[in-house]
Amino acid sequence: MNFGLIIIGDEILSGKREDKHLPKVIELLGERGLALSWARYVGDDRGAITAVLREAFAGGDAVFSCGGIGATPDDHTRQCAAAALGVELALHPRARELILERMRDVAAEQGTSFEPDRPDNVHRLNMGVFPAGAELIANPFNKIPGFSCRGSGGGTVHFVPGFPVMAWPMIATLLDGPYASLHGSGRREERSVIVYGAMEATLTPLMEAIEAQFEGVKVFSLPSVDHPVHGRHIELGVKAPIAGAAAAFAALRAGLEAHGARLGPELVR
């Protein structure tokens, strides 16, 4: 299974806020022997969000979506998820209970009376209005849940808040819950070597041959023109499941030597 990430919000695209979700999700996946396959950024535009979510639901990936699930006018994610799925929005009964519980807790903390019928409290219930059939994601920070939906194409999108203090524990819980059986399945090794004085075009046939010979192996080429240590060079290597990385890299190195390439240090990650 591939994992994807969608990050929603004009504040990210405008630079008002720096995205912290991408590196953290990569870290959370990596700690569990998993890897992120793709990431998308999208602003607070209903058409754009709906299109991205429709694509996610149509695929077979597990996707985390961060942001836009509040109840202010610039929060569109809940509505877009329903539109992408072709279902109605409805107040989730358990979400309603949790939101009321949170309101009750806040009133107790502030020493005020709990007034569930007060207009602002009634409005807060909108944070529990999800696409029909949604499943809840527990929020240990303030009890206001996120939600998960599965599309007809097999893609599952997990919607969490944009706040890292809420989103990251919720994502970690999902990874250790429904995806626990996948832990370790994405572990890969990267082996590479510095190649001096070569042109990528002349090495392309070798790269294609390695990928054709070794299933599940990706060959990468990272050229540099002004490296402070190696100067102009290419870092050429393979990314592969740990069990197959050594053999694929040995074949790549043998091919480079047959080309008469001048080789430098090797790197293993």
* pLDDT tens-digit readout, 208-256: 999 999 999 999 999 999 889 999 999 999 999 888 999 999 999 999 9
pLDDT digits (tens, 9 = 90+) for 150-195: 999 999 999 999 999 999 999 999 999 999 999 998 888 999 999 9
Give yes or no on whether 3-182 and 188-268 have one common fold: no
How much is the pLDDT for 1?
A: 85
How much is the pLDDT for 209?
A: 97
Predicted TM-score (pTM) of the model is 0.88
In terms of Cβ atoms closer than 10 Å to its own Cβ (0-12, 13-18, 19+), residue 37 is: middle
Report the CATH number of the 3-182 domain: 3.40.980.10
Please say if the pLDDT value at position 199 is more than 90.
Answer: no
Q: How many degrees, rounded to 5, is the angle at CA 160 between CA 71 and CA 22?
A: 125
178-215: burial string, b at 16+ Cβ within 10 Å, e else? ebeebeeebebbebbbbbeebeeeebeebbeebeeebe
Q: Domain residues of the chain, as ranges?
A: 3-182, 188-268
Please say if the pLDDT value at position 16 is more than 90.
Answer: yes
- What three-state secondary structure class fits 17? coil
Q: Looking at the domain 188-268, which fold is it? A: Alpha-Beta Plaits (3.30.70)
How much is the pLDDT for 100?
A: 97
C-beta neighbour count of 79 within 10 angstroms: 16
How much is the pLDDT for 261?
A: 94
Nearby residues of 73 by Cβ (< 8 Å), 6 or more positions away: none
pLDDT digits (tens, 9 = 90+) for 53-80: 999 999 999 999 999 999 999 999 999 9
Band of pLDDT at residue 134, cut at 50, 70 and 90: very high
Q: Which residue type, as a one-letter code, is found at position 204?
A: T
Mean of pLDDT over the chain: 96
Residue 160's nearest CA partner among 70, 254, 268 is 70
